[in-house]
Amino acid sequence: MSFMRERPINALTTEVMRRRHLRRVLQIEEQVYPRPWTHRTFISELAEMRNGSRYYMVAYVDDVMVGYAGLMFSGNDAHVTNIAVDPEWQGRGVATEMMLDLAILSHERGCEAMTLEVRHTNTAAQNLYRRFGFVPAGVRKRYYENTDDAIIMWAHGVDTEEFMERLRLIELRRPV
């Protein structure tokens, strides 16, 4: 599934992640995470897409992959498994665009809520998630490999028109 929305980043497109994308996905993964997921982990996650319990996407600007993101569906919830942007492209709205796609997909699938964990020191990501209606709901102590804590965040009402209005406002307010 690729969302055909007007995007402010010149020629940014998204598409479903496939095995052929993994070499570049792993390069980004290794740049942004101290303990990156392995090739085997991604293969396992992609296999779960067949039964509809996962969704992974990649983002391109022209022919350069600049990021990827994923969701895991559980009951009426969507769990953001990861959002990663190549460091050279961070701060340019790529994560916002991918979050918009994940949020729209979650709404379209009838999810009532979205959740995620974010490193307690990653204030830029926390601010992004707050724009989407996520609020802190707890802490997972020593969640990350280097013993960093994770903040658990939830966005409720994903299935409502109010949530979609929030997404429309995010789209309207992003830089052109």
Instruction: Give the pLDDT score at 85.
Output: 97
Query: Domain extents for the chain?
Result: 12-173
Active-site amino acid positions = 117, 129
d(CA 111, CA 40): 28
pLDDT tens digits, residue range 50-59? 999 999 999 9
pLDDT digits (tens, 9 = 90+) for 1-13: 445 555 555 668 9
CATH class of the domain defined by 12-173: alpha beta
Q: Encode 56-89: b = buried (16+ Cβ within 10 Å), e = exposed.
A: bbbbbbeeebbbbbbbbbeeebbbbbbbbbbeeb
Task: Tell the residue number behind the tokens 């990653």, with chain if given.
Answer: 122
Give the separation between CA 132 and CA 116, rounded to whole angstroms: 12
91 Rama sector, left if φ>0, alpha if ψ -120 to 50, beta otherwise:
left
